[in-house]
């Protein structure tokens, strides 16, 4: 067997032996690696003997730095404080030398962090609803689902009055229950009258299971007796000023006279149920002969149960279904319907409930939109961190000599990594400070834009600072780790000889990150355009009625002489119609945009009682349909000359189909059983949207109601806008004269109807705002990258100009790489955006179709922004003196 031979490219063993004796193992690996590279290069160019001689020489000469290296290594191991101070000094020196680079990095990080803070505070507020209740984790609302012939008819936030007491009787898991019946009434105290919309008739346990603290009064007894009321702090000041309200008597709608037994703190903004007046439930019982205790069909009650700790709501639902069937099976089978009462966590109501008869429908949140905003916050922060990585790795050539010199002077890889991570931490801290200032200065503007009520109270919360520290630490590591390892791995032998070129893996990484940035930007812009188009579509949708120039006045709540109501209303009508600015007047129990709570069973007269179907009811007068330009498609409207119309009804087209009629004409003169007897269908009106375009058309029944009206519709002439103040004065004067003791409350119908889109408008504004943030941050990074790209190609630009290339050609040459990246980003962003936004649009009964034009516009916009950003710097470089460019480096 032949003896093993030393590989021909190995340096002299003597030199390697000396290195091991001089240096520790850690330093040996680093120094030996550098000298080995030099040895291999010399052997290729000058031969083995020359390379071996220089290798021994380099080993001996390296001993000069032995004490320095040992000292540096010792300091690294034993004096971390001094090392960190040194890192900070070097970082500050680097920042002062590279002000533009630092400004781009810090500004990008600051904007990203500020956007993230805004979004996360907004999201935190939206997710905080009802979590302030001490029993929040065990508190549930009873949802009501109604089925007919096996088909779900509706899902309602308000349940039947019997279900709460029944649950407590049958289910040992229930600690207590409470019902809340919402009302709008005119409240009076002496000569003070206001229409109040935040009134609830509640069980005595309401203030026990919810945490709404009392300023005065006893929670245990304040709502036990009939004709008692608890009022909010704001209501107490509004009606009683500085007087003590306890024991004072207030009246509601001129019917209820109630004693104030408690004053509650104002309800927090993050509560799904809001009140200024809580009337005792016994007051309602006195008016309804206890029907409110036993009814299984009247469902206007928001009902809540408090479960014992540890109770599983899903198991509870299963057990209660068995108890309900034992109680109600006979009725279910007889009338071919079914009821369900699943529990809904109170903390989920604001974001994840969109049912009929929500407590505060205009303030309902959108869990899906909140989720999207969290994703956007993550994107913006990632884009900011990507900027840092891109700019750091792009400057790698510039900092390569710094690394080489430090390594020759004895710095080890761990120290270099520590140095670059320290830079990352300091820049992130600086960016966080600026971001905090942006939030503090801009929070009021943000609230105005998004209709939010955020405050700076979060600065006093430990959780905010905990998350902030985690954010800064994570950002520093994520943004600084890769550049630190890249820069610290450079070999001084190549660096100091000027042989360093761009690392291919680093270039590829930068391209991937740029693609991610601009794909995110395209997604956000396209998403913003789609949200805007959907809102515009809903606002311009033909809703089936005319709401232009429509003034609505709320009907009187206080009217003691009901027999005089009709002649008084007729007088009011006649007085108003004498004004040439007013072209029509109508009254009704509802107006478009007002959710209908009145529902009852209806069936065709020839059908048995078990065929009853629930239908929503809106009472109208003779002039209601003409005033709103709602067309009668079959039969006729109510007429004052038809005395039999009190026994007639009108349906909408969906209502006729709902009752099984094949056409509107077929329904005319047919009998239906509704209320307490048979009614004749005399007309069918065209379908129109009673509620927003988010909800489809529902079956509606329109009885003739002239004895009491919740709303007066006043249609103005198109020229009335010139003298609108005078019109208001005339209407208010007549109203005050004919309905004394009632406040004059009015609104314009278009504003009232479109308030239903407030959450979508808010989402659109937030989406647009932070899409802009993302694009600005991405452009800052792109500007920095294009600047370094231009600097690295300074000599190439000089040569091209010297041989005759014009500015346009050079700009195109330097920009085309970024253009390709943006185009590729579009290909990734388009399908992702389509999938996400198509899912969002599925929540609407009426929705747009997503067209390719949206993606083309978004892509072109991002492309133009990228070209302008890159072109600014490349244009300046391309116009520079070629002589200076050729002397560069």
- pLDDT value of residue 483: 64
| H/E stretch holding 769 | helix 758-792
- Residue 292's Cβ-side half-sphere holds a number of Cα atoms within 13 Å equal to 21
**CA nearest to 274, candidates 345, 176, 180:** 180
- Residue 80's Cβ-side half-sphere holds a number of Cα atoms within 13 Å equal to 4
Token readout for 79 is 């004096």
- Provide the β-strand partners of residue 700: 616
Q: Are 737 and 346 a contacting pair, CB within 8 Å?
A: no
Mean pLDDT for each consecutive 10-residue tract of the chain (889 residues)?
54 75 64 73 76 76 53 49 67 69 80 86 90 96 90 89 94 96 91 92 95 95 94 96 94 87 95 96 71 76 95 95 93 87 96 88 83 84 78 61 58 66 81 90 84 80 81 75 62 51 59 80 87 87 90 82 81 93 93 89 88 89 96 95 92 95 95 89 95 87 90 86 80 92 91 86 82 78 67 68 70 75 88 90 88 90 80 65 52
Other C-beta atoms lying within 10 Å of the C-beta of residue 497: 11
Q: Is 408 exposed, middle or buried (0-12, 13-18, 19+ CB in 10 A)?
A: middle
Q: How far from each other are the two terminal CA atoms of the chain, in whole angstroms?
A: 57
Residue 409 to residues 67, 628, 708: CA-CA distances in angstroms? 11, 87, 94
Q: Is 836 exposed, middle or buried (0-12, 13-18, 19+ CB in 10 A)?
A: middle
- pLDDT value of residue 105: 77
- pLDDT value of residue 406: 60
Q: Are 829 and 523 a contacting pair, CB within 8 Å?
A: yes
- pLDDT value of residue 8: 58
Give CA angle at 436 (430, 440), nearest 5°: 150
Beta strands 677-685 and 648-652, pairing class? parallel
3-state secondary structure of 844: coil
**Which stretches within 578-700 are classed as H helix?**
624-627, 653-658, 664-667
Calculate the CA dihedral of residues 158, 164, 167, 172 and round it to 10 degrees: 120
Q: Are 143 and 155 a contacting pair, CB within 8 Å?
A: yes
- pLDDT value of residue 2: 45
């Amino acid at each position: 067997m032949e003896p093993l031979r030393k590989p021909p490219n190995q340096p002299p063993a003597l030199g390697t032996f000396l290195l091991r004796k001089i240096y520790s193992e850690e330093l040996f690996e680093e120094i030996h690696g550098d000298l080995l590279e030099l040895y291999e290069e010399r052997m290729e160019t000058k031969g083995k003997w020359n390379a071996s001689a220089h290798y021994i020489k380099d080993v001996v000469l390296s001993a000069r730095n032995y004490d320095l290296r040992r000292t540096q290594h010792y300091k690294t191991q034993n004096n971390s404080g001094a090392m960190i101070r040194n890192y900070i000094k070097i970082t500050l020196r680097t920042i002062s030398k590279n002000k533009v680079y630092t400004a781009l990095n810090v500004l990008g990080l600051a904007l990203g962090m500020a956007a993230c803070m805004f979004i996360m505070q907004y999201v935190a507020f939206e997710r905080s609803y009802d979590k302030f209740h001490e029993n929040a984790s065990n508190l549930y609302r009873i949802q009501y689902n109604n089925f007919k012939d096996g088909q779900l008819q509706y899902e309602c936030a308000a349940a039947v009055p019997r279900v709460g007491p029944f649950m407590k009787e049958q289910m040992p898991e229930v600690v207590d229950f409470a019902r809340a019946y919402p009302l709008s009434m005119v409240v009076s105290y002496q000569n003070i009258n206001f229409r109040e919309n935040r009134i609830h008739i509640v069980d005595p346990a309401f203030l026990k299971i919810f945490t709404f603290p009392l300023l005065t009064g006893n929670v245990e007894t304040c709502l036990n007796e009939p004709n008692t009321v608890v009022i909010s702090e704001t209501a107490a000041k509004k009606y009683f000023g500085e007087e003590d309200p306890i024991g004072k008597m207030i009246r509601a709608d001129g019917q209820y006279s109630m004693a104030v037994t408690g004053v509650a703190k104002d309800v927090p903004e993050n509560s799904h149920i809001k009140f200024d007046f809580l009337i005792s439930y016994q007051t309602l019982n006195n008016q309804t002969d206890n029907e409110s205790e036993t009814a299984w069909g009247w469902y206007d009650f928001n009902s809540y149960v408090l479960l014992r700790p540890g109770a599983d709501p899903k198991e509870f639902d299963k057990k209660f279904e068995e108890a309900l069937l034992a109680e109600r099976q006979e009725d279910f089978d007889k009338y071919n319907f079914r009821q369900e009462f699943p529990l809904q966590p109170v903390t989920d109501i604001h974001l994840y409930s969109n049912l009929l008869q929500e407590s505060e429908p205009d303030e309902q949140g959108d869990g899906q939109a909140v989720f999207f905003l969290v994703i956007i916050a993550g994107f913006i922060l990632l884009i900011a961190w990507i900027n840092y990585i891109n700019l750091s790795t792009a400057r790698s050539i510039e900092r390569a000599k710094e690394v080489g010199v430090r390594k020759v002077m004895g710095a080890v890889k761990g120290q270099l990594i520590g140095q670059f991570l320290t830079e990352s931490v300091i820049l992130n801290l600086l960016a966080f400070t600026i971001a905090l200032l942006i939030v503090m200065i801009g929070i009021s503007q943000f609230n105005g834009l998004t209709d939010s009520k955020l405050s700076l109270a979060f600065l006093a919360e430990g959780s905010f600072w905990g998350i902030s520290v985690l954010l800064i630490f994570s950002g520093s590591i994520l943004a600084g780790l890769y550049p630190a390892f890249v820069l610290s791995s450079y070999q001084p032998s190549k660096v100091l000889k000027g042989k360093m070129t761009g690392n291919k893996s680093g270039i590829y990484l930068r391209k991937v990150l740029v693609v991610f940035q601009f794909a995110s930007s395209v997604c956000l812009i396209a998403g913003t355009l789609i949200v805007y188009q959907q809102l515009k579509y809903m606002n311009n949708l033909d809703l089936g009625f005319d709401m232009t120039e429509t003034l609505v006045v709320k009907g009187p709540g206080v009217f003691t002489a009901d027999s005089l109501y009709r002649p008084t209303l007729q007088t009011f009508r006649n007085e108003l119609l004498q004004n040439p600015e007013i072209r029509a007047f109508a009254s009704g129990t509802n107006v478009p945009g007002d959710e209908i709570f009145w529902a009852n069973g209806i069936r065709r007269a020839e059908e048995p009682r078990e065929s009853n179907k629930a239908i929503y009811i809106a009472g109208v007068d003779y002039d209601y349909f003409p005033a709103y330009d709602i067309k009668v498609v079959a039969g006729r409207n109510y007429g004052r000359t038809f005395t039999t119309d009190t026994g007639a009804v009108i349906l909408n087209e969906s209502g006729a189909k709902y009752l099984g009629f094949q056409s509107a004409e077929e329904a005319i003169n047919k009998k239906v059983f509704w209320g307490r007897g048979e009614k004749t269908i005399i007309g069918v009106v065209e379908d129109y949207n009673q509620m927003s375009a988010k909800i489809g058309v529902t079956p509606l029944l329109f009885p003739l109601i002239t004895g009491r009206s919740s709303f007066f519709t006043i249609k103005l002439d198109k020229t009335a806008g010139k003298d609108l103040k005078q019109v208001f004065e005339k209407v208010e004067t007549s109203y005050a004269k004919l309905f004394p003791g009632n406040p004059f409350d009015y609104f314009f119908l278009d504003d009232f109807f479109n308030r239903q889109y407030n959450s979508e408008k808010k989402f659109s504004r937030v989406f647009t705002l932070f899409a802009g943030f993302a694009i600005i941050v991405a452009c800052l990074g792109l500007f920095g990258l294009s600047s370094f790209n231009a600097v690295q190609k300074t000599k190439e630009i000089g040569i091209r100009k010297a041989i005759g290339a014009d500015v346009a050609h050079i700009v195109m040459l330097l920009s085309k790489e970024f253009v390709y990246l943006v185009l590729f980003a579009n290909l990734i962003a388009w399908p992702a955006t389509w999938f996400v936004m198509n899912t969002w649009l599925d929540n609407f009964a009426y929705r747009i179709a997503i067209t390719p034009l949206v993606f083309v516009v978004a892509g072109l916009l991002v492309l133009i922004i990228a070209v302008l950003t890159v072109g600014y710097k490349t244009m300046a470089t391309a116009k520079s003196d070629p002589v200076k460019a050729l002397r560069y480096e």
